[in-house]
Structure 1
C-alpha cells in the first residue's frame, strides 16, 4: 500500500467519524428542540403545568425513566435490546418493599437489595446472550416473562403495603428543594457517561456494538464485557425500580408493564442507534425528559392512557425511521 493510499484511508475513516458525530449531534439537537417546544406548549395549554407540585412530579417521574433508559442505552450500544427492564424493575421494587416491611431494614439497605436483584437479572441476560448466544431479543423476552411471573409468585399478585414513611426518601425526598431522585439520576448519568466516553471499558462497548467479530479478533474479552454490560444495566434498572416503589410507598407487582417502550424510545430519541455502536447518555436524558413530558402533559390535558400509548408508538416509529435514514446516509458516504 502506497503512502497516498494510506492517507486516503485515514482521511476516509476520519470523515466517517466526523459524519457520525455530526449525525449524533443533530439527533440530540432535534430532540432538545422538540423538548423545548413541548414544554412551552404545555405551559400555555395547562395552568397546572408550571406549578411546583407538577414540576416536582415530572422530576421524580423522569428520574425513573432516565435511569432505566441509561441502562437500555448501554445495551443498545452493544447492538442489543433489553425487553426485561419492566419486570426487572417491578421485581426489584417488590423485593425492596418486602425486606423493609418484614425485616425492618433501612431504605438504603432496601436499595442495595433492589440493585442486587436487578444485577442478578442482568447476569441471566448477559450469560444467555454472551455464553448461550441467544439473540438479545429472545433472551430478554424470556427474562421479561419469567421475571413478571416471579413477581406475582412472590407477592401473590397483591401489592406490598404497610411500609414506613422513611421508605419514601428515594422517590419523594428533597435535597435543598431538589428531588432526591433527580440527584441520583444526575450522579448515575455522570458516572455512566464517564464510563462510556472516557474509559477503556467504554471503548470496548462501542467496539462490540460496531462490529462484534472485529472486537473479538482485536483481543477484547467479548463474553465477559457483554455480560458486564447486562449486569450493570440490570443494577441500574433495579435502582430505578426501588425509586419507583418509593414514590408510591409500596411494591406493585404490575409496575413496569410497557416500561421497556419508554426506555427504548428515550434512548433512540436521544441518538442511540438500534444498529449498535452509537449513543450518548446526554441524548438519552433529553429523550427521557421528552417522554416524561408527553406522559405528564397527556394527564393534565385529560388524554386517555390508550392515546398516550399511541403517541409513544408514533415517537418510536419516527425516531427509528430517522435512525435508519442517518445510517443509510453514513453508509452512502462510505
Structure 2
C-alpha cells in the first residue's frame, strides 16, 4: 500500500463514504438547506483550522484556541451590549486581544522554551477563567442588527461565514505556497536546529505562527458570536479538539514539517458532516464525544504509523 497516496486521497474517500452513509440513513441530509447549514457550521472550524495547521507544521500545538474564541465572544459582546460600542470597533478590539494572546503564547514558547502543550494548556485555563469573570457566567446579548450579517447573512445563496472561511483558507494556502514565510514554517517544523543554522530566525517564525493562530481564532470567535447572537463564556469549550482533529485528518503531521491547506479543507468538511449527520440520526451527545475522540485517535495513530514506516525504510 502506498501510504503517501492514502494520505493524499484517503481523506476525500472518507468524506464521500460519510456523505453516502448519512444520506442513506437520513432523508434530510441531502436537503439543500441542510447542506448549506453544514457549510455554515463548518466555517468557524475552517477559519480556526488554518491557524492550527500553521502551528502543527511548526511541530507545536495550540490548545488555547477554544478559550480564545470564548474570550472574544465575551469581550465583543460586552463592548457592544454593555459599553454601547460600534460593532466595527468592538470587533477590532476583540481581534487585537486574541492576536496579542497568540503572540504571547509564541513569545513564551520561543524565549522561555516551555513546551507548547503546557503553555497553551495554561492559556486555555486562564482565558476560560477571564471569560467567566468578565461575563459573571451569564450570557450577554443585545447587539446591533448590523452585526448579525457576519454570522447570519448571505451573498446570493452563499452564507457570509463560508465566504470568510474561503478567504482565510486562500490566504493560508498563499502564505504556505507562495511566500518565504511558508517555506520557513516547513523548514522549522522539519528540523528546527538545522533551520537556525541556515539563518532562519526561528523565534520570529514562532511569534508569527502563534500570532496568526490567535488572529484566526479571534475571527472564528466573531463569526460564532454573530451567528448565535449571544456571548457565552463556554462558546468555544472543547472547540480546540475539533479543530485539531480536522487538521490532523487533513494530513498535517502532528510532529511538524508536512501538510497542505487543501487537504485541511477536506478534514474540516468531514468534521462538519460527521457532527451534522450524528445530530440528524439522533445520536446521543455523549456518544458523539466518544466518536469524535476515536476519530482523533485514528488520525494521530495513522500519522504516527506512517512516520514509523518512513523511518523504517
Give the alignment's TM-score, normalised by structure 2. Answer: 0.96
Q: What does residue range 203-242 of structure 1 map to in structure 2 within 5 Å?
A: 203-242=183-222
Alignment partners' CA distance in 2, 1:300 and 1:169: 27
**Which of 20, 25, 32 is 1:52 aligned to?**
32
SS in 1 for 2:232: coil
Please name the residue that 2:277 is paired with: 297
**Which of 53, 64, 68 is 1:73 aligned to?**
53
Please name the residue that 2:127 is paired with: 147
**Which of 144, 166, 169 is 1:189 aligned to?**
169
- Give per-residue Cα distances to partners, 1:271-321, cap 9 Å, x unaligned: 011111011111111111101111111111100111111111111111111
Alignment partners' CA distance in 2, 1:101 and 1:42: 40
Alignment partners' CA distance in 2, 1:102 and 1:316: 39
SS in 2 for 1:262: helix
**Which of 86, 101, 118 is 1:138 aligned to?**
118
1:269 and 2:249 aligned: yes
Conserved in 1, the CA contact under 8 Å of 2:87 and 2:144?
A: no
Please name the residue that 1:315 is paired with: 295
Offset of residue 170 of structure 1: 1.3
Q: Once superposed, what is the RMSD of the aligned Cα atoms?
A: 1.4
Distance change >3 Å, CA 44–CA 106, structure 1 → 2:
farther
Conserved in 2, the CA contact under 8 Å of 1:28 and 1:286?
A: no
Alignment partners' CA distance in 2, 1:324 and 1:114: 37
Gaps of 5+ in 1: 1-21
Conserved in 1, the CA contact under 8 Å of 2:148 and 2:226?
A: yes
Alignment partners' CA distance in 2, 1:150 and 1:273: 32
Offset of residue 23 of structure 1: 5.2
Offset of residue 176 of structure 1: 1.2
Alignment partners' CA distance in 1, 2:251 and 2:262: 9
Conserved in 2, the CA contact under 8 Å of 1:28 and 1:283?
A: yes
Please name the residue that 2:71 is paired with: 91
1:122 and 2:102 aligned: yes
Aligned residues: 312
Offset of residue 25 of structure 1: 5.0
Deviates more, 1:295-304 or 1:43-52: 43-52
Alignment partners' CA distance in 1, 2:57 and 2:7: 15
Please name the residue that 2:81 is paired with: 101
